[in-house]
Chains A and B, each alone.
Chain A
Amino acid sequence: MRHIRAGDRVLDIVVYAWLALCALACLLPFLNVLSKSLSANWAIVSGQVGLWPVGFTFENLYFVMTDSTFLRALGVSAFVTVVGTLGAILFTAVAAYPLSKKHLPGIKPILFAYVFTMLFNGGLIPNYLLIKSLGLMNNLGALILPGLINVFNMLLMKNYYENLPESLEESAKLEGASNLRIVLRIIIPLSAPVFATISLFYAVAFWSDWFHPLLYITDPSLKPLQLYLRDIVLEASDESRLTQSIDNLLNVSPEGIRNATIIVSTLPILLVYPMLQKYFIKGILIGSVKG
């Protein structure tokens, strides 16, 4: 017995060491960016900044946080994320709940129509033309509306509703409650966990969306954070040194500012994540037990 326990302990140590290494591999680059954002530019250029700031300064962070272009991009991203997530939950729930009622006539073809869009879609150009003819170019609606229902999330929610005990609704019906009343008084209050999980999925998707704004937004004042960040980071690549015009090279933002921009952009999601993480675990379990 003792032998097995010792073996277990060794295994534990190996597992923990491995996990710690993985965690470090994720953490160290982040720390490096963080310390660069707190370092003087000369120290970064001469390669002296590792995990600890050299020539400590808040100037980079201050510059970023008072830069109107950055703040506007942050505002756009926040707006899209908040409005998008609230809207997406509403629309997803309104689609998912009826689809969970298998006894409704014609429900199967409708469900199939949803699933069909998971596998096939019009493609880039038709989507672009659609958004354009809807008059949504350079409009934040182009970032929100197409993302309101993610079929995968909708199916998760549908599964959740299917797993709610049917007797709940039956008893309510026996008591004389109308369908609307059932939804408002029973279903919605019971949906808190699934709403929380799916909101997190949606919020992360809206927040980190880079491709849709790349396509649909050309007005600089509507540029969300991810697009702004990508532009800033690319400025200093070796490739752009060869292809950029000399005047753009003369105006490249300093390394410290770029790193500070990355840090400040990561903060909001970094702060929200730990608070919502527990729902992630619940969310993975949603729909896993058929009952």
Chain B
Amino acid sequence: MDLRHKRGWMAAALVLVVVVLLAGCSGQEPAGGGNKDAAAGGGGGEQKEASANKPELKFLKVYTNIDYNHYPVADYIEEASGYAIQYDALPQEHASEKLNLIMASGSNYDLVDATNAQDFFTFAENGALTDLTPLIDEFGPHIREAISDESFASASVDGKIYGIPTLNISYVRTGLLIRTDWLEQVGLPMPQTLDEFTAVLRAFREQDPGGNGAQNIPFTMSGTPLIDNVAGAFGLFVDGGAQWSEVDGELVHAANHPALPDYLQYVRMLYEEGLLDAEFATNKGSTAAEKFTSGRAGVLVAGWSSIPGYDEALQKVQPDATYQFLLPMEGADGQKGFLKHGGINKITFVPKSAAHPEDAVKAVNALLEPETFKEMFIGTEGETYTVEDGAYLPIEPAFFDQRGSSNAFVIGMDEDVFETYWQARLRKNQAMYDNYRIVNEVPEEQRVFNPLAFAPYLPQLAASNNQLNSVVRDALIQMVVDGVTDKGIADMQSAWKAAGGEAVAAEINEWYTSR
């Protein structure tokens, strides 16, 4: 046979393997595969030359679903600051672990975003970060102007600024979406008190306005049965993720809140009467949403950021459906309100091992120049947005193509104007924008701030909080399903203690009273 031919082929293959292997592994830029210059087109190389006197900065970001290096904002930043920036990104999973690994082994990043304040403070206390105070004094006039002392305090250790804080917008996140066309059919107005809400749910159950028969669900939800708005009627301002609230100047976990038993009795009643979805405990977020968007449920606990998807689905499935968020409902004692979220979104720091700490601060400073910040965040007037009565309206699709993810590039913010700019992105979807306003434009006293939003790094809290929340969630679900008893409440509280609750309570109250 053609054995010789075969042998030649084999030898050639071996040589090829060695060559490819060497080529693939020797250079910083492997051949083939992920060749980023090829993907970036010709632009990348030229831009780097343009700013020859300014060094290229290396920036470690957190995960978002955009490609930082090829997003339009990255080009703008380079143009406006004169700094070419190479962005790397942490994975979404195990981000903290990886950041620690990178920091522990001596990173060469000039700037790093930390969304986990705990990581930031650990690094700062271990001397891994550059003290930015003198650099900001010298090179950062715009940084000083934009960021309040209060915010700086949340990124400082012993009076030294170790990071540039970026705030979250403060907002009410969740509410109760109710089918207003169902309300009309059962002839009831929007419920304004908890009793009216109960009456509406009963009417939904009895009159079945959706014509769903056995599948009719007056009220559905998923997750922890701590329902924003309903809980507010009992003076309880907590949700599945934020379970600490203030009682008489002291921070108390939901498990120990004096209003919890009454609240729980109410939710139990909803469940027992068949008003609350019998499957609420096993619903995932998407299953609860399915029930609402397919027209089987009358009320859904929902975050407004999910509304665009729901809206599209509901319009298709039930074109006549109308819905909106309920306003805060009044409880027996006249209490009402929502839980408001906010606080630090991330802290950007300069590792001690950074090659260009001065330039890093200069670059951040350049981006916080008010006009630059505006253009970086929302683009150019007439191109990506228009202004109407002081409100910023996006021009589609340019705005969402070029600035839809600009938030990922923000390093510190012009705190006075940020929210006005930010609202432009909510206009992506009218239903979302309208409902955002419903829950976020209620009087200030009805939006109760999560007291831990601006908490510094508290080690006990960081270590045990998830465990506490999940212990309490399980106990709450069990009581809603099996009945609320004094023993059940006591059992929950002792499970909470067993999970380290008391140490956390002591720790956060020490901070809270000395704040």
Distance in angstroms between the alpha carbons of A246 and B345 in the assembled complex: 9
B20 contacts A83, C-beta separation under 8 Å: yes
B303 x A249 contact (CB < 8 A): yes
Mask of B422-466 contacts with A, CB within 8 angstroms, 1/0: 000110100000000000000000000000000000000000000
Interchain CB contact under 8 A, A46 and B105: no
- The A-contacting residues of B in range 93-111, CB under 8 angstroms, are 93-94, 98, 101-102, 104-105
In the complex, the answer to whether A46 meets B88 with C-beta atoms within 8 Å is no
With an 8 A cutoff between CB atoms, is B92 at the interface? yes
Whether A83 pairs with B309 at a CB distance below 8 angstroms is no
- For residue A15, CB closer than 8 A to chain B, the reply is no
* Shortest Cβ gap from B24 to chain A (Å): 5
- Does A241 lie within 8 Å of B67, measured CB to CB? no
Given the interface contacts A69-B67, A230-B92, A231-B92, does A254 sit within 8 Å of B24 by beta carbon?
no
Cα distance, A184 to B105, chains bound together (Å) = 45
Whole-angstrom distance between the alpha carbons of A236 and B25 in the complex? Answer: 35
Asked whether, in the complex, the Cβ of A218 is within 8 Å of the Cβ of B310, the reply is no
A-contact bits for B3-40, CB 8 A (1 contact / 0 none): 10011001101101110110011101010111010010
A188 in complex: contacting residue of B10, B21, B34, B314, CB < 8 Å: B10
A41 CA to B405 CA, complexed, in Å: 21
Which chain B residues lie closer than 8 Å to A234 at the CB level?
A: 92-93
Instruction: Using known A-B contacts A141-B30, A144-B25, A214-B93, determine if residue A41 contacts B313 with beta carbons closer than 8 Å.
Output: yes
Interface membership of B63, Cβ < 8 A: yes
Instruction: Give 1 or 0 for each of A138-154: 1 = CB within 8 Å of chain B CB.
Output: 11110011000000000
B120 nearest CB across to chain A (Å): 15
Residue B216 at the chain A interface, CB threshold 8 Å: no
A231-B65 in contact (CB<8A): yes
> Is B312 part of the binding interface, using a Cβ–Cβ cutoff of 8 Å?
yes
Shortest distance from the beta carbon of B35 to any chain A beta carbon, whole Å: 8
B78 contact set on A, CB distance < 8 A: none
Known A46-B293, A72-B34; judge A86-B313 contact (CB<8 A): no
In the complex, whether B260 has a CB less than 8 A from a CB of chain A is no
B241 engages A243 (CB within 8 Å)? yes
Q: How far is the CA of A81 from the CA of B189 in the complex (A)?
A: 63
A221-B241 contact in complex given A86-B17, A138-B88, C-beta closer than 8 Å: no
Q: Is B315 an interface residue (CB 8 A)?
A: yes
User: Is A245 in the interface zone, CB < 8 Å from B?
Assistant: yes
Q: Given A42-B317, A238-B285, do A245 and B18 touch, yes or no (CB 8 Å)?
A: no
B483 sits at the interface (CB 8 A): no
B25 to chain A: which residues have CB within 8 Å?
136, 139-141, 144-145
Partner-contacting stretch, out of B124-132, B167-175, B191-199, B507-515:
B167-175
CB distance from B215 to the nearest CB of A (A): 12
Could you mark each residue 223-241 of chain A with 1 if its beta carbon is under 8 Å from any beta carbon of chain B, else 0?
1000100111011101011
Q: Could you tell me if B34 and A45 are in contact, using CB atoms closer than 8 angstroms?
A: no
Bound CA span A13–B24, Å: 53
Complex contact A241–B293 (CB within 8 A): no
Tell me which residues across on chain B come within 8 A of A125, comparing CB atoms.
101, 104
Question: Is B290 part of the binding interface, using a Cβ–Cβ cutoff of 8 Å?
Answer: yes
Contacts of B489 in A (CB 8 A): none
Interface assignment of B229: CB less than 8 Å from any CB of chain A: no
B133 at interface, CB cutoff 8 A? no
The reply to whether B34 and A221 contact each other, CB–CB distance below 8 Å, is: yes
Total number of B residues with any Cβ neighbor in A under 8 Å = 84
- A164 to nearest B CB, angstroms? 17
Q: How far is the CA of A185 from the CA of B9 in the complex (A)?
A: 12
A-B contact number at CB 8 A: 197
Tell whether B148 is near chain A: CB-to-CB under 8 Å.
no
Interface residue? B281 (CB, 8 A): no
Say whether B407 faces chain A, with CB atoms less than 8 Å apart.
yes
Q: Which residues of A contact B312 (CB under 8 A)?
A: 41-42, 45
Chain B residues near A69 (CB, 8 Å)? Answer: 67
Cβ B36 vs Cβ A221 within 8 A: yes
Contacts of A128 in B (CB 8 A): 101, 105
Q: What chain A residues lie within 8 Å of B241 (beta carbons)?
A: 242-243
A73: chain B residues within 8 A (beta carbon): 34
| Nearest chain B CB to A257 CB, angstrom units | 10
Interface membership of A129, Cβ < 8 A: yes
Q: Contact check, A246 vs B305: say whether CB atoms are below 8 A apart.
A: yes
Chain A 171-215 near chain B by CB (<8 Å), digits 1 or 0: 000000000000011001100000000000000000000000011
Contact A189-B34, Cβ < 8 Å, known A141-B24, A241-B285: no
B316 near A254: Cβ-Cβ < 8 Å: no
Complex Cα distance A249/B33, Å?
31
Compute how far the CA of A248 lies from the CA of B39 in the bound complex, rounded to whole angstroms. Answer: 25
26 A-B pairs with CB atoms under 8 Å apart are: A45-B290, A45-B312, A46-B293, A47-B287, A47-B293, A68-B67, A73-B34, A79-B30, A83-B20, A86-B21, A87-B20, A87-B21, A132-B105, A215-B98, A215-B101, A218-B60, A218-B88, A220-B87, A220-B89, A222-B30, A231-B65, A236-B286, A241-B306, A245-B115, A246-B173, A254-B309
- Top-10 shortest CB links A-B: A79-B33, A47-B290, A141-B25, A218-B88, A221-B36, A247-B407, A45-B313, A76-B34, A42-B313, A46-B293
Binding site for B on A (CB under 8 A): 40-43, 45-48, 55, 68-69, 72-73, 75-76, 78-80, 83, 86-87, 89-90, 125, 128-129, 132, 136, 138-141, 144-145, 184-185, 188-189, 214-215, 218-223, 227, 230-232, 234-236, 238, 240-243, 245-255
Known: A214-B91, A214-B94. 5 other contacts (CB 8 A): A140-B34, A185-B3, A189-B7, A243-B241, A251-B65
